[in-house]
Structure 1
Amino acid sequence: MDTSVHTKFDNSIVLPELANDTIEPHLNLRPKNFDEYPGQERVCENLKVYTQAAKLRGKMLDHCLFHGPPGLGKTTLAGIVAETMGYQIKVTSGPVIERAADLMGILASIESKTILFIDEIHRLPSNVEEILYSAMEDMRLDILIGQGPTARTVKFDLPPFCIIGATTKAGAISAPLRDRFGIQEHLDFYSPESLTKILMRSAKIMNAQLENEAAFLLSTRCRGTPRIANQLLKRILDFALVSNKISIDCDVVNLALKRLGVDSEGLCIMDRDFLKIMKDRYQGGPVGLDAIAAALNEEKSTLEDVYEPYLVYRGFVLRTARGRMLSDLGKNHLDN
């Protein structure tokens, strides 16, 4: 078997307890079960039912697709599902799997009752997607050996396994692949109440004293995203430590966020530049995203995946058939 395939995949395997961006190596901010996972209540309740039903049947869980903006906990949910089912989990990503042989090597090495988590699954090449069809539906690999008239297909049976795919662009996944996911769940931005719970839990893990009022204030300014909430909390802890503050109160939060360029609506400098370009250079639009990206000297994909979703969600930017438009809400925010 091609050893390069195994090397590529082995380097991408991340154990759930190590797949974290934490302040200290021994700290783990990822929840390990559904009870520790605030927010996404509908998704969690559904997954509880699906995992319990699979256990009662003694069958593998159906293949799952989690989609939504980045930083909302898709990888964390995959780890929780694996923990709940008692499965081992192997993690890779779409850009890593460049050839059909790469995926064949991965699937051939999978053991029974394993979850294969594929992040950014929308970036799988089309020839690789085709390998997944029979693997997901029939639990087998169809391997073509030889060329021309002498070519023959060898069927390789796979042990029971589950694929969990995560994507920020569900529409970029081909319909045949998307239809093979029996469980599809969309993750949306979190409410301030859910983010407050996440921040209080993270602060406790980091042995930090975070006041409830300060946690709620921070929760309203982290774009509805747990990843950003935890990142901001770490930076606020830096300011508190340097300022010799034992407890993090609203004053510390406001000071740190001002220094970080995060405004009252949770918009960062790039968010505001996005809105200013639309207002000053294009009179509020409509304007194409390519033009905005060129004006900001930023990749279009970065604007589309990282910044625009929250601006659209909050109603600052409107997506129309003619292009992006700055809403009255966006104009008022810039004027204040």
Structure 2
Amino acid sequence: MADPRDAAEALDETELAIEGALRPSSLSEFVGQPKVRGQLQLLLQAARIQERSADHILLAGPPGLGKTTLAMIVAHESERPLRLSSGPAIQHAGDLAALLSSLTPGEVLFIDEIHRMARSAEEMLYLAMEDFRIDIMVGKGAGATSIPLELAPFTLVGATTRSGLLPNPLRDRFGFTGHLEYYGEDELEQVIARSAAVLGVRLPADALSEIARRSRGTPRIANRLLRRVRDYALVHGDADSASLSDVQAALELYDVDAIGLDRLDRAVLDALVRRFGGGPVGLSTLAVAVGEEAETVESVVEPYLVRIGFLGRTPRGRIAMPEAYAHLGVTRPDGGALFDDL
């Protein structure tokens, strides 16, 4: 009898392979971000012609827009190995020293959420990026000495969702900074169509548009919703195709409404409009009202609500905008017209 653990491992490997296939492997396959793609293409071609490591790259923008994928593409198109790490994992200068000293010549080092590195590690990174060396302190007190350690040339690709938190000396050492923007619905439809082909799911044009409309301008969310639609079609109908009604039923089941708001988004809006009269209300009070941490509300919920004009930030607190009342179908306290549910 076959071992169930072997079957589970095989399934996990299949899912990992699918996950990897959903990521484009070249700039020509990467959908959207035309300006950043063109700038990266030029930077990589120049480095290839001169047979050197590419300049250090900083990718800034909201989560889910493809920063990690672009780092993988940089390594692939440079024909160099890729090393993955993250800012929270580098909490001491020694952590960074061990990582940098193990790099091979030309290797691409990707540090996600680079703004969350420890300050001591950031200061060590300045010298490493500029001169490809670090200084190791040996001993303590008056007898301590600094030993320089030469590093192999490498390309650092840093990703950040909050570039304003990066100290200027670190930001200035990147040769190129790419700012990623939210995707339009047309671009998201291309992302979903490509992913659907990888997953083996046929989607009509109206189903593609429906998923794109609910994806909040973010490819990561689009791919996540697509997988839930695939699961729904597999259980309730045809595993190889999904109709518009399948998409609508699946996303309704997962509490994703017609414009991409989820349960927490609607809870925040509902609390702001119905319990606090539209505000202004403080962030911590609003977070307590919906049973979430203030940081979650601020970093996960607010950016999208602000971007679509449902929520405003003022010195006195958060306020609900007219569009939020319209979406909830609530009469504004100032006597505004009653809006229909969207």
1:159 is displaced (CA, Å) by: 1.0
Matches within 5 A, 1:104-253: 104-245=97-238, 246-253=240-247
What is the number of equivalent residue pairs in this alignment? 316
- Partner amino acid, structure 1, of 2:314: T
> 1:115: Cα distance to partner?
0.9
Tell me, what secondary structure is at the counterpart of 1:65? strand
CA distance in 1, matches of 2:286, 2:47: 47
* Match in the other structure for 2:16: 25
**Matching residue of 1:320:** 314
Quote how far apart the aligned CAs of 1:23 are: 7.2
| Matches of 1:291 and 1:176, distance apart in 2 | 37
How far does residue 22 in structure 1 lie from its aligned partner after superposition? 9.3
CA distance in 2, matches of 1:265, 1:61: 40
State how far apart, in whole Å, the 2-side matches of 1:303 and 1:311 are. Answer: 11
The one-letter code sitting in structure 2 at the alignment partner of 1:321 is P
Q: Secondary structure at the match of 1:59?
A: coil
Cα shift at 1:241: 1.3
TM-score w.r.t. the length of structure 1 is 0.90
Q: Deviations over 1:253-274 (max 9, x none)?
A: 1111111111111111111111
The residue matched to 1:155 in structure 2 has which SS? strand
The percent of aligned pairs where both chains have the same amino acid is 44
Equivalent position SS for 2:15 = coil
CA RMSD of aligned residues (A): 1.6
Contact 1:69 1:305 (C-alpha < 8 Å) held by counterparts: no
Instruction: Specify whether residues 282 and 23 from structure 1 end up closer, same or farther in structure 2 by C-alpha distance, changes over 3 A only.
Output: farther
**In the alignment, residue 25 of structure 1 is paired with which amino acid?**
L
Alignment of 1:67-106 (within 5 A): 67-106=60-99
- Give 1:36's match in structure 2, choosing from 20, 25, 29: 29
Aligned to 1:298: 292
Distance 1:90 1:281 in 2: 49
Task: Decide which moves more: 59-68 or 101-110.
Answer: 59-68
After TM superposition, give the deviation of residue 78 of structure 1 in Å.
0.4
Answer whether contact 1:69 1:306 (CA < 8 A) is retained: no
The unaligned stretches of length 5 or more in structure 2 are 1-11, 330-340
> Quick one: which amino acid aligns to residue 315 of structure 1?
G
Q: Provide closer, same or farther for how the CA distance between residues 281 and 179 of structure 1 changes in structure 2, counting only shifts above 3 A.
A: farther
Of 50, 53, 57, which aligns to 1:57?
A: 50
- Which amino acid in 1 is paired with 2:285? A
Cα distance between partner residues in 2 of 1:293 and 1:164: 34
4+ residue runs over 6 A deviation: none
Structure 1 residue aligned with 2:41, among 32, 45, 48? 48
Secondary structure at the aligned position of 1:278 is classed as helix
Gapped regions of structure 1 (runs ≥ 5): 1-20
Distance 2:301 2:75 in 1: 31
Larger radius of gyration: 2
Within 2, Cα distance between the matches of 1:292 and 1:137? 45
Alpha-carbon distance between aligned partners in 2 of 1:324 and 1:23, rounded to the nearest angstrom: 45
